Structure 1
Amino acid sequence: MLRIEDCYLTGSFIKTHGVKGELVAKKNSDLLERNKLESILVDIDGGLVPFFINGINKRNHSSVKIILEDMDTEAKAKRFIGCDIYIPIKDAPDFIEDEDEIDPNILIGFTYIDEEKGELGKIEDIQDYAGNIVLVITIKGEEVLIPFADENFIDLDEENKNITMDTPDGLIDLYLQ
């Protein structure tokens, strides 16, 4: 049985589409439409349940329409609203081989490690402010925004889902004062 730690969070179901069981998913990356996936894993009450895919259609830059096998009514689909969607690491492309190609959205769920301060927390979200990518982490109850810049990048451990970066001096302290 696959564990969440062995998977990438690729999005979550946000609403139904039509009356034939189609679902709309807010995506965290382009993994859902970039790959020819046969199935996805849906987090239902803390357990990953596999579902075969009959189709994935891009709606806009942040969402896709997903048609799951045997999902043929709106009532069945409504039960999935709010559920997270995962794909196994083994089914994801080798996106980490070239750091210039990293989709930062795939880092959601990775542990952020500062070169000096050590482990700071899990990356909860990725924000894009006019092309400036920011990692969102909660430290001591405070939301902290850390720029995802090439000059700060040190290491990415895909297997253990860790990213090590050199956080700009004083940034963490600024949030925690």
Structure 2
Amino acid sequence: MLRIEDCYLAGSFTKTHGVKGELVAKKNGDLLERNKLESILVDIDGGLVPFFIPKKGITSRNHSSVKILLEDMDTEAKAKRFIGCDIYIPTKSVPDYIEEAEDLDPNVLIGFTYVDEEKGELGEIEDIQDYAGNIILVISIKNEEVLIPFADENFIDLDEENKTITMDTPDGLLDLYL
């Protein structure tokens, strides 16, 4: 059985679309569209449940969401049960495209542990914010929300297997928060 730790958080269902069972999902990056997925995993009550996607079952809606039709999902009533559920993709199903920071979709980093080159492990990346093309990693350190810019020049290493990212945090940034 797959564990959440072995998957990427690809998005979450936010609402239904129409009356034929289609769902709208807020996406974390372009994993859902780019990979031409045949199936996804849905977190239902803490367990990952696989669902198959018919051909052309994922369509872009706008820059932050997609429409998804799951097999055997044919009514709005069935679809409503999925609102609020997270969508995962097994790590092994995602092509190995994380080679350099410039190629990396930062949204796949949600759930990764942030490691500072000097200070060591700081915490888990909880969210990614995009401020006009400036990507910010949101990390909780000692119950304090810390915003760290994700820039190529600060990127050191990414360990997909252990779900860690090592970066050289800009000097003095952590002192502002802690």
Q: TM-score range by the shorter chain?
A: over 0.9
CA deviation vs aligned residue, 1:51-106 (integer Å, no higher than 9, x gap):
00120000001000000001111111111111100000111011112432111111
CA distance in 2, matches of 1:98, 1:133: 15
**Aligned-pair RMSD on alpha carbons?**
0.9
For 1:1-177, list aligned pairs within 5 A. Answer: 1-54=1-54, 55-176=57-178
How high is the TM-score relative to the length of structure 2?
0.96
How high is the TM-score relative to the length of structure 1?
0.97
| Equivalent residue letter for 2:41 | L
CA deviation vs aligned residue, 1:94-151 (integer Å, no higher than 9, x gap):
1112432111111111110111111111111111111111001111111110000111
Q: Which runs of 5+ in 2 are unaligned?
A: none
CA distance in 2, matches of 1:77, 1:138: 33
Same amino acid, percent of matched pairs: 86
Dislocated runs of 4+, deviation >3 Å: none
| Equivalent residue letter for 2:105 | D
